[in-house]
């Protein structure tokens, strides 16, 4: 107790002494009396003693509200006594030496930098300069300088740049003085103007007098000299000077010498310092050439390989890897043109924009190798990258956020006359249908309350609430209530210019379906071995089916009886090219090559027992009931593609089931990216080992598939396929090049292709070398998908995530500035993965994500139409418009049939609020279609919750906004070469018909005062996990800017958050934390913003589904299989 008391008294005493001494010093400054220098020397000496001995004193002097630093700096500025100056400099050094950078920042804010620079200028005029003073001054400046962003400018203005440089020049052997001077030069050099100025005065040459071969002496001085040189060489002028004097070769020699002698790795920082100098000088083209000429690639490759065994040397390996990647000579893609391999002549050429530029380009200038010095050097040097969610709220760039209140406030602008919008009346027959001709169950109408339907609870379905017709209603739903009386009144108005006809002749084709056609036969996605042996290519011949469709897929039987589609060989087996195809002949459609060997020998016995007998049928009961192999082929015949595809991919034909196991997000092996980059660098070092043979080429119409047994065969000539060219690099390694979107020279990400001719037990490496995004979920656990026909033959038709050693990184193929939006020095990126196949001579398909073709959509809609109960469900399938290629854009209407044909029930039917859904505007985001498929199937199901939704709302759905892009394997654009989700402001009816008419539907609803309650556009996201939404809010947009939302007098209904909140409680994959309601300028022409701003739909959303998996909730750590993707989210 006495000790504590004594300690407390001592502390108080020290504090009071410090305050007292500072007061004395302040009085001395103000009195300026002759002889006071002795007093100042004495006081500062005592303060120095306190600062050196007690941390409390140091804290007190830099604490908030303290004037200690101001008094000290004032004394330093005014005194001329050398000892007082030395005392004060020591005091300041003690203060900033501990406590992190906060204390140095305090010194900067008090004007300390300017005072120190002035003192340095004054002291330099002494001849000779006071060495102790110079050491202390430079030591303090080296500590304070990094916290002062303008120290370089201040130093130049005060004329002190060359003082430190001259001190080094004249005192090279005085290491005590040279060391802090070099540290200050390093700080000065962060300013490019200063670096150039110092370079002109010989600083680069001076640094090479200090650094040198391996030596255990003065290693700290060498380390600082290297850091200073690395900063100086970031200036292009200094880098060119270093190249001209042969310093690149010198740096490589120095690095090799330190690498050889530092066997115990004690001087890793020096070795890294040399590498940082090489990294800086190779930022320019001359530096990269000098590095190559000095055999730097091979030298750094060999030294980095020797460092791999020691984990602590990873910084050296990573920096070496970065230098080698940068210096790898830039090449253009091995293509005749980066424009798409397919051409479609547009009916109208845009007056401006990238498409117009593409059409106006002279031949052979679309892809020029760019060796610009503007290399993006912001590569990740650490092997353990941090995932960057660059579009979370906190990462929005302020300059992209809309700050104009007038633009943010929604305003209804129809943009088209009422008379013109009447053309869309035909798509809303439900608003005038009277059902008098329908035999509905008659009920006495209950007293009609206009808002009764709107105010009741609407249960939002979740994946766990799938019930049969007999199931009890779920109690887990969350009630969604419409609380706006204005909206309630609006929904119950009659249309403005629609009259209620006495008799309507409109009859939806869906209402004429017979119930007996809904008795579906079970079917199989598999073929028996006997059938496979007799087939190479399969074509569908018209048979007398009488429009009868079957079960869940195709039923393959040995007997050929009428009523079941027969599969027949279109050509003799031995004469057919494995990956080729022919155009449609009559009504036949060809499938790709089947596995020639049938089932592997090790499973022959099992296969024989399962397929024995003339009438053997293989069946899978778990396949979706809306998949029908025969119907799919019928749909394919009417699908119009630009390449006129004649083949059908087996996964699309067979269908697929989810794998019977959970697929965790892949944990990335340490060092995999570094290893892959080293293997790429070996291509340059050991060029004789590279095969460089083209094995697939869409640009060469006469190209023939290699016949060698050890070469893989590729194919992408089927709907949604995308693979342009394949080059064999090594025996089991292939470079793959994707096709750009039609009428475009970029957007490479989606891939879907076939591989055959493989062997088991071999790891095949695939490199997709022309991706464009700067990052991908492939770096964070995502895997490509593979479908094995051999596995399908064993009744396991699954898309499974495969691949090891997966990574995504920048490569040495240069992107043309024309394709990169005018940006120079950009490179493509590589997706690389290694696959070991389970079956020899298999036929496998690889895809970016679960494929979902346009023909699949047509098949699903046809099946839904034929399976529904017209007494309960109002289902209508219309054609909204024709696309540029002549394909139909489907429009679906789903709601519940009225309880009876009494007027009250029909009135309630017509006045249900609309919910408008759309999907697949971006072809490469296939998960949007799977979510839409789940939505459609749920809304058509017998679930009590689905029935409740149908009775409460009318669903208008455009399940595929970009059919042409989907069909032709585009990633983002339509045939117009433009992103359709950037055309909603001013869609062109000739170039963007689906967007023009989709917007027209919404404008029509606005014109008749029937605004949708919700608009939601389904998308997929390639760089974030989970499922989330983007919405629109004025206030939340303002919160991310400097504008004070409270001062804007904004009144905003928070109902825009209701649906995302409901989903966050009901959908396991949904993440509210990833949602954003900020309106960005770059998104002002998207569906979400235009429907909110121009149409006036408050709840206008984009719903994003991950292409990878989840990092929260029920599915945390798991990839989202297709069974989860189709869980209805609405």
Instruction: Give the residue numbers marked as catalytic.
Output: 1104
Structure tokens at 623: 């396949």
What is the distance between the alpha carbons of residues 449 and 445, in angstroms, rounded to a whole number? 11
Partners of residue 829 on adjacent β-strands: 771, 810
Give the DSSP per-residue string, 81-109. -HHHHHHHHHHHHHHHHSSTTHHHHHHHH
For 559, list phi and psi in degrees, rounded to 5: -80, 145
Q: Are strands 914-919 and 1014-1021 parallel, antiparallel or unpaired?
A: parallel
Residue identified by tokens 């990092």 is: 1111
Q: How far is CA 427 from CA 415, 937, 957, in A?
A: 19, 21, 11
* C-beta neighbour count of 356 within 10 angstroms: 13
The helix-helix angle for 314-327 and 285-293 (nearest 10°) equals: 110
Give the DSSP per-residue string, 823-884. --S-EEEEEEEEEE-SSTT-EEEEESS----HHHHHHHHHHHHHHS-TTTEEEEEEEEEE-T
For 807, list phi and psi in degrees, rounded to 5: -160, 170
* C-beta neighbour count of 6 within 10 angstroms: 10
| Angle, vertex CA 138, rays to CA 137 and CA 144, nearest 5 | 90
Structure tokens at 968: 């032709």
The SS3 assignment for 576 reads coil
Give the DSSP per-residue string, 460-527. PP-GGG---TTSPPPS---B-----HHHHHHHTSPPSS----SS-----GGGG--GGGG-PPP-BS--
Burial of 15 (0-12, 13-18, 19+ CB in 10 A): middle
Q: Are strands 763-771 and 827-836 parallel, antiparallel or unpaired?
A: antiparallel
The SS3 assignment for 368 reads coil
Structure tokens at 131: 């060495």
Helices (H) and strands (E) in the chain, counts: 41, 22
For residues 785 and 800, the answer to whether their CB atoms sit within 8 Å is yes
Max CA separation in the chain (angstroms)? 122
The SS3 assignment for 642 reads coil
Burial of 165 (0-12, 13-18, 19+ CB in 10 A): buried
DSSP code at position 288? H
Partners of residue 874 on adjacent β-strands: 895
What is the distance between the alpha carbons of residues 1063 and 1027, in angstroms, rounded to a whole number? 10
The helix-helix angle for 175-188 and 161-170 (nearest 10°) equals: 150
What is the distance between the alpha carbons of residues 11 and 13, in angstroms, rounded to a whole number? 5
List all residues 6 or more positions away from 386 whose beta carbon is below 8 Å from its beta carbon. none
- The verdict on whether omega for the bond into residue 128 sits within 30 degrees of 0, i.e. cis, is yes
For residues 626 and 1126, the answer to whether their CB atoms sit within 8 Å is no
Residue identified by tokens 């893609």 is: 333
List all residues 6 or more positions away from 995 whose beta carbon is below 8 Å from its beta carbon. 921, 961, 980, 983, 984, 987
Residue identified by tokens 């009775």 is: 951
Partners of residue 752 on adjacent β-strands: 722, 847
Size (the chain), residues = 1130
């Amino acid at each position: 107790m006495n000790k504590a008391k004594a300690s407390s008294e001592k502390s108080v005493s020290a504090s009071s002494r410090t305050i007292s001494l500072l007061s004395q010093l302040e009085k001395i400054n103000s009195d300026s009396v002759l002889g006071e220098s002795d007093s100042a020397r004495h006081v500062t000496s005592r303060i120095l003693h306190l600062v050196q001995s007690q941390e409390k004193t140091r804290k007190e002097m830099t604490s908030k509200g303290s004037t200690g630093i101001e008094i000290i700096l004032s004394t330093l500025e005014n005194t001329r006594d050398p000892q007082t100056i030395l005392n004060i400099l020591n005091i300041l050094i003690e203060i900033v030496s501990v406590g992190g950078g906060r204390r140095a920042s305090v010194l900067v804010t008090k004007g300390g930098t300017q005072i120190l620079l002035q003192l340095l200028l004054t002291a330099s005029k002494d001849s000779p300069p006071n060495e102790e003073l110079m050491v202390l001054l430079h030591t303090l400046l080296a500590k304070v300088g990094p916290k002062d962003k303008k120290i370089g400018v201040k130093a130049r203005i005060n004329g002190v740049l060359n003082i430190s440089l001259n001190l080094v020049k004249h005192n090279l052997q005085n290491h005590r003085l040279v060391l802090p001077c070099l540290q200050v030069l390093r700080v000065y050099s962060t300013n490019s103007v200063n670096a150039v100025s110092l370079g002109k005065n010989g600083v680069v040459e001076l640094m090479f007098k200090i650094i040198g071969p391996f030596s255990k002496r003065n290693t700290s001085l060498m380390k600082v000299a290297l850091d200073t040189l690395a900063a100086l060489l970031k200036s292009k002028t200094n880098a060119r000077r270093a190249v001209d004097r042969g310093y690149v070769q010198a740096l490589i020699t120095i690095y090799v010498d330190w690498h050889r002698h530092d066997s115990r790795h004690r001087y890793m920082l020096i070795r890294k310092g040399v590498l940082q100098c090489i990294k800086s000088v190779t930022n320019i083209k001359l530096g990269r050439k000098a590095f190559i000429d000095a055999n730097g690639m091979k030298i750094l490759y060999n030294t980095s390989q020797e460092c791999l065994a020691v984990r602590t040397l990873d910084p050296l390996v990573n920096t070496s890897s970065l230098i080698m990647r940068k210096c790898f000579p830039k090449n253009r893609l091995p293509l005749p043109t980066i424009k798409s391999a397919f051409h479609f002549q547009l009916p109208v050429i845009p007056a401006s924009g990238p498409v117009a530029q593409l059409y106006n380009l002279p031949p052979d200038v679309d892809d020029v190798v760019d060796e610009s010095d503007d290399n993006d050097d912001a590569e990740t040097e650490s092997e353990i990258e941090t995932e960057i969610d660059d579009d979370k709220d906190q990462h929005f760039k302020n300059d992209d956020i809309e700050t104009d209140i007038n633009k943010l406030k929604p305003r209804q602008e129809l943009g088209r006359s009422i008379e013109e919008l009447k053309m869309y009346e035909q798509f809303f027959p439900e608003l005038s249908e009277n059902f008098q001709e329908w035999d509905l169950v008659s009920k006495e109408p209950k007293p009609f309350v206009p808002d009764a339907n709107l105010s009741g609870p609407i249960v939002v379905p979740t994946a766990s609430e799938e019930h049969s017709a007999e199931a009890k209603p779920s109690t887990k739903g969350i009630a969604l209530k419409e609380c706006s009386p204005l909206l309630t009144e609006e929904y119950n108005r009659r249309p403005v210019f629609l009259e209620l006809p006495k008799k309507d002749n409109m009859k939806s084709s869906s209402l004429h379906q017979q119930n007996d056609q809904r008795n579906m036969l079970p079917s199989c996605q598999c073929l028996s071995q006997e059938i496979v042996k007799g087939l190479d290519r399969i074509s569908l011949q018209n048979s007398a089916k009488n429009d009868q469709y079957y079960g869940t897929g195709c039923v393959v039987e040995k007997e050929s009886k009428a009523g079941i589609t027969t599969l027949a060989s279109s050509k003799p087996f031995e004469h057919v090219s494995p990956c080729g195809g022919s155009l449609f002949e009559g009504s036949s459609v060809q499938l790709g090559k089947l596995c020639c060997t049938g089932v592997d020998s090790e499973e022959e016995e099992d296969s024989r027992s399962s397929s024995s007998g003339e009438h053997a049928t293989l069946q899978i009961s778990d396949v979706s009931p809306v998949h029908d192999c025969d119907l799919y082929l019928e749909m394919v015949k009417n699908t119009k593609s630009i390449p006129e595809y004649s083949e059908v991919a087996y996964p699309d034909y067979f269908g697929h089931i989810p794998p019977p196991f959970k697929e965790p997000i892949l944990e990335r092996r340490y060092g995999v990216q570094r290893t892959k980059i080293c293997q790429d660098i070996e291509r340059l070092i050991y060029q004789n080992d590279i095969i460089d043979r083209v094995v697939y080429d869409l640009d060469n119409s006469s190209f023939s598939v290699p016949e060698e047994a050890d070469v893989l065969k590729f194919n992408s000539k089927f709907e949604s396929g995308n693979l342009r060219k394949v080059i064999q690099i090594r025996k089991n390694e292939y470079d793959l090049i994707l096709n750009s979107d039609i009428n475009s020279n970029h957007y490479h990400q989606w891939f879907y292709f076939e591989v055959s001719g493989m062997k088991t037990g071999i790891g095949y490496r695939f490199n997709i070398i022309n991706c464009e995004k700067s990052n991908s979920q492939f770096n964070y656990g995502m895997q490509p998908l593979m479908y094995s026909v051999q596995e399908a033959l064993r009744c396991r038709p699954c898309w499974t995530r495969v691949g090891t050693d997966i990574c995504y990184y920048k490569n040495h193929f240069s992107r043309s500035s024309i394709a990169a939006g005018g940006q120079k020095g950009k490179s493509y990126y590589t997706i690389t993965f290694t696959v070991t196949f389970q079956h020899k001579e298999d036929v496998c398909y690889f895809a970016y994500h679960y494929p979902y073709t346009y023909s699949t959509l047509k098949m699903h809609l046809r099946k839904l139409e034929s399976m529904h109960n017209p007494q309960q469900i109002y289902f209508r399938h219309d054609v909204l418009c024709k696309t540029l290629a002549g394909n139909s854009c489907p429009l679906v209407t789903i709601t519940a049939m009225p309880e009876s044909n009494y007027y009250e029930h029909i009135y309630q039917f017509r006045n249900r609020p609309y919910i408008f859904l759309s999907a697949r505007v971006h072809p490469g985001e296939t998960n949007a279609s799977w979510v839409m498929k789940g939505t459609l199937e749920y809304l058509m199901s017998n679930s009590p919750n689905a029935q409740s939704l149908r009775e409460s709302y009318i669903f208008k759905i455009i399940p595929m906004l970009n059919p042409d892009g989907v069909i032709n394997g585009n990633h983002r654009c339509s045939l117009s070469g433009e992103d359709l989700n950037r055309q909603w402001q001013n869609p062109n009816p000739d170039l963007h018909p689906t967007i023009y008419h989709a917007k027209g539907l919404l404008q029509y609803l606005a014109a008749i005062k029937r605004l949708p309650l919700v608009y939601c556009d389904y998308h997929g996201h390639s760089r974030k996990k989970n499922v989330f939404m983007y919405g629109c809010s004025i206030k939340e947009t303002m919160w991310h800017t400097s504008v004070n939302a409270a001062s804007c007098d904004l009144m905003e209904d928070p109902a825009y958050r209701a649906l995302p909140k409901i989903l966050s409680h009901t959908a396991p994959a949904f993440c509210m934390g990833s949602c954003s309601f900020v309106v960005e300028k770059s998104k002002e022409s998207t569906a979400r913003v235009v429907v909110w701003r121009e149409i006036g739909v408050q709840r206008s959303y984009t719903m994003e589904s991950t292409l990878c998996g989840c990092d929260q909730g029920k599915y945390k750590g798991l990839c989202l299989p297709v069974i989860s993707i189709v869980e209805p989210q609405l």
